[in-house]
């Protein structure tokens, strides 16, 4: 489990969901777009719930490993993770926010 640090609080979710959200936030930011996502989470009592996050260029979110506690749950989030990955692909390329327009990624050999 991971905590998404958002708006001054920790939102507990699965590793896969947290990773998908932060990747989508980075893609949206790089492409100057904004969206909301309904993230499957667990509340402070361990009850499954949903948190709606607004993410985009101004988002300030981080991920951290969640402490071991009694809130660890198996979240049914496979459909959510796949949906967010598709949305990230549709939002545009995952490029640096401060990309130099005179330098193309094709100019480098990463292999």
> What pLDDT sits at residue 61?
93
More confident residue, 58 or 101: 58
Check pLDDT > 90 for residue 82: yes
Looking up tokens 């809130």 gives 71
Confidence of residue 79 (pLDDT cuts 50, 70, 90): very high
Order across the sheet with 62-65: list the strands. Answer: 48-55, 35-42, 9-13, 2-6, 62-65
The stretches of the chain forming alpha helices (DSSP H) are 15-30, 78-91
Separation CA 100–CA 96 (nearest Å): 9
Q: Using pLDDT thresholds of 50, 70 and 90, give the confidence band for residue 9.
A: very high
- 64 token code pair: 């951290």
Q: Could you tell me whether strands 48-55 and 9-13 are parallel, antiparallel, or unpaired per DSSP bridges?
A: unpaired
CA distance 108 to 111: 9
Banded model confidence at residue 98, pLDDT cuts 50, 70, 90: low
Cα radius of gyration rounded to whole Å, the chain: 16
CA 100 to centroid of chain Cα atoms: 24
């Amino acid at each position: 489990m991971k905590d998404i640090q958002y708006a001054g609080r920790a939102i507990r979710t699965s590793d896969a969901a947290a990773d998908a959200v932060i990747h989508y936030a980075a893609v949206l930011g790089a492409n100057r777009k904004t969206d909301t996502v309904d993230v499957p989470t667990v509340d402070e009592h361990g009850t499954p719930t949903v948190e709606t996050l607004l993410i985009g260029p101004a988002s300030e979110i981080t991920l951290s490993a969640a402490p071991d506690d009694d809130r660890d749950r198996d979240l049914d989030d496979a459909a959510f993770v796949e949906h967010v990955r598709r949305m990230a692909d549709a939002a545009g390329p995952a490029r640096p926010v401060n990309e130099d327009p005179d330098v193309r990624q094709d100019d480098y050999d990463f292999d």
